[in-house]
Amino acid sequence: MANFDDQVTQYLNYISVEKALAKNTISAYRKDLERFALFLADSKVAKGSELEVNTLTEYVAWLRGKGSTNALGESSISRAVVTIRNLSNFISREVERVDLLKDFSPPKIPKRLPKALTISEIADLLKQFHGEGAANLRSLALVEILYASGGRISEVVELKLSDLIQIEDSQTIRLTGKGGKQRVVPLGSYSREALNNYLVRSRPIFANGKTSAYLFLNSRGGKLSRQSVWKIISDAAEQAGIGQKVTPHSLRHSFATHLLDGGADIRVVQELLGHSSVTTTQIYTLVTIDRIRESYLTAHPRSK
């Protein structure tokens, strides 16, 4: 039987090759399992009992350690438990034994509503990129596409020129999401104009004679990084005076919220976001219900 470290390696190879999970997801799983291995070493857990219920219960307590550098939030602990439970399921199938962690439940975490920008805040953010410089044209196209498509930052930085698809008179983009699942999303007139301006007047400057398949390029002609996108958006939000932290994911939240506010069908929004289950998308309906309640309490004369 393979030792625990070998089983972890086999599991990571499995989710990479056979499950085709995204690189960022695999990286998160690897960090979770490295932290678990550190706990096992510190706790001197008996050989062969790595994946028993008592061990995982102790691990959750270890992760919650008050004042400890190991302490994590409940959502991170919940994900760590799911990672180890998935590993246990994989090992149990490989060696044909009972999965002792099958019914171990991760900690329940409070449902947090996603924070969306208002439409006027989106407009203020985009105004920061109105200029003729190559960087401004690129940033405007980037943010317009993030907001127009609801794409994850990892999906948008991975866009290639071949992912720009013309369907009759409509410009669309092909996004590749989790597990390699692809979806085609339409672009509106604002994002189309910003994209065309970038392609004609800005991208050739960044390419500087080099050939690259990627849509969004950095100053060296290579693929624009996620870190660069974060900085572009956070700097623009600060300049716009938006009084909250703004990230690329804020634009995804805003995309979904504004569609539902405008009357879009939740199943359509689910498809556009690339959610495998409508349950994930339904959290955005809570945002719109919250707004309706707030408007009612403010406006109705007998609401108080």
Distance CA 253, CA 117 (A): 8
Q: How far, in Å, CA of 140 to CA of 149, rounded?
A: 14
Does 249 qualify as catalytic in the annotation? Answer: yes
Per the DSSP assignment, residues forming a β-bridge with 172 are 165, 186
Q: Catalytic site residue 284?
A: yes
Give the 3-state secondary structure of residue 223.
Answer: strand
Rounded Cα gap, residues 271 and 281, in angstroms: 9
Q: Is 152 a residue of the active site? A: yes
Catalytic residue among 11, 59, 214, 284: 284
The answer to whether residue 178 is catalytic is yes
Of 85, 203, 252, 258, which one is the catalytic site residue?
A: 252
Catalytic residue among 138, 152, 203, 223: 152
Do the strands 182-186 and 164-167 form a parallel or antiparallel pair, or are they unpaired? unpaired
- Among 201, 226, 275, 291, the active-site one is 275
CB burial string 2-37: b at 16+ within 10 A, e below: eebeebbeebbeebbeeeebbeeebebbbebbebbe
Instruction: For residue 245, give the H/E element and its range.
Output: none
Reported as half-sphere exposure (CB side, CA atoms, 13 A), residue 227 has a value of 0
List 178, 183, 201, 226, catalytic entry = 178
Q: Which residues pair with 160 in a beta bridge?
A: 214
Q: Please pick, among 30, 183, 226, 249, the residue that the annotation labels catalytic.
A: 249
Query: What residues are annotated to the active site?
Result: 152, 178, 249, 252, 275, 284
